[in-house]
Amino acid sequence: MSGIPKVGIDFAGWDVDIFDKDAKIDKLLCSKGWIGFSIYFWLCQRAYGTEGYFYRFRDDDCASIARKMGCGVREGTVRETVDYCLQISLFDKGRFGEWGILTSRGIQRRFWCVLQKRRVKKVYREFWLLEDEECSGLVKVSFQTDPQSAKGRLQDADPHMQSADRESKGKKSKYNNIAAASGETGVTDVQEREQDKYTRYKPSEFALWCVEYLIQSLLNDLPNQKVPRTDLEKKKWALHIDRMHHIDNLSKEQIRDTLIWTIRDDFWKTNIRSTGKFREKFSTLYLQSRRKHSGKWNTFHDFEQNDYDFNELEQELLSN
């Protein structure tokens, strides 16, 4: 084990006057009570114990967190607390929306107090919030250029990713066309092989349905706007949907229901104009769709009891 930098920290100090001078904590206590604070504290500790300065959070983790915490904490309470902590900036909304991680300047300051005593002082640039003058001697590396290390460490922090990785070992052939289109096959001359990789990629029927549905929604708003017209262009959009299902481990029901909610929401339908942006903002869209329609959840993926017929929606799409 020598030579391998330690990940996470064993101890994190908290200010003794946290309940006296932190307005965000006051808001959390006022809105969610001590249970809400306990959930926030638990998530911070998970960040310190796994990666040290961030915690990889997926909405599906809420039930597991509630079970581990016990004491009557429920899945919905965890979800609402995380959403509220993002709203009042106890967790950084930007890093969560882009990377699906929970972190904050406070978490990173406590982490830095320990990290600065270590020989190796390395963090991911994309995740880091503190200014350079606050952490002299820190080495920032790009998450994009360190994919193997990042993937392995995020899997350690996320049991869902571990499970998905074990499952994928027996199904690699099923996703070969997705990897080829993703440019993850070791090819370095991207421009030369751009056309070929999308030609070899065979999108799923579900991905193509999502693409057509989004395209039709965009054209209904503005008939002459730029949308995919050719098969190749539609494949590029479909790839993001297939990645969400096979790589992000999202169910088809989650993707479909959230997409339909998105294009019916007055704000998001003007901001989500491609499947790439839909994938990027999925966590935020999913959480907001649940919050705005709370009180009608079923037991299948905790989605709202839908009033629409998907067969009817598909016929409507095809007839336009």
Helix (H, G, I), strand (E, B) or coil at 12: coil
* 154: pLDDT strictly greater than 80: no
For 306-316, how does the pLDDT look when each residue is reduced to its tens digit (9 = 90+)?
Answer: 455 555 655 55
In angstroms, the CA 96 to CA 107 distance is 14
Which residue, 33, 29, 32, is CA-closest to 18?
29
Number of other residues whose CB lies within 10 A of the CB of residue 82? 24
Q: Where are the domains of the chain?
A: 18-160, 203-319
Higher pLDDT, 127 or 192: 127
The larger pLDDT score, comparing residue 158 to residue 144, is at: 144
List the beta strands (DSSP E) in 103-165. Answer: 122-124, 139-141
Whole-number percent of the chain with pLDDT over 70: 72
pLDDT band at 317 (very low <50, low <70, confident <90, very high): low
Residue 5: closest CA among 136, 117, 130: 117
Q: Per residue in 278-308, pLDDT tens? A: 999 999 899 888 876 554 444 334 444 445 5
Contact 257, 269 (CB under 8 A): no
Q: Which residue has the tokens 């959390």?
A: 28
Q: Who has greater pLDDT, 6 or 183?
A: 6
Mean pLDDT computed over 29-53: 92
Q: What gap in Å lies between CA 143 and CA 215, rounded to an integer?
A: 32
Question: Mean pLDDT throughout 65-75?
Answer: 88
The pLDDT score that the predictor gives to residue 37 is 93
Coil, strand or helix at 139: strand
Mean per-residue pLDDT, 39-55: 91
| pLDDT at 71 exceeding the cut of 80 | yes
Map tokens 């009608």 to a residue.
296
Q: What are phi and psi of 92, to 5 degrees?
A: -75, 120
What is the chain's mean pLDDT, rounded?
A: 77
Please indicate whether residue 256 or residue 168 has the higher confidence score (pLDDT).
Answer: 256
d(CA 134, CA 57): 26
pTM score above 0.75: no
Distances (CA, A) of 308 to 149, 258, 260, 285: 44, 13, 10, 19
Q: Answer whether residue 31 shows pLDDT above 80.
A: yes
In which band, very low, low, confident or very high, does the pLDDT at 162 lie, cut at 50, 70 and 90? very low
Look-up: residue for tokens 């990889």?
56
Instruction: Examine the pLDDT at 155 and tell me if it is beyond 60.
Output: no
Tell me: pLDDT of 197 over 60. no
Burial of 244 (0-12, 13-18, 19+ CB in 10 A): buried
- pLDDT tens, position by position, 108-126: 999 998 888 888 888 888 8
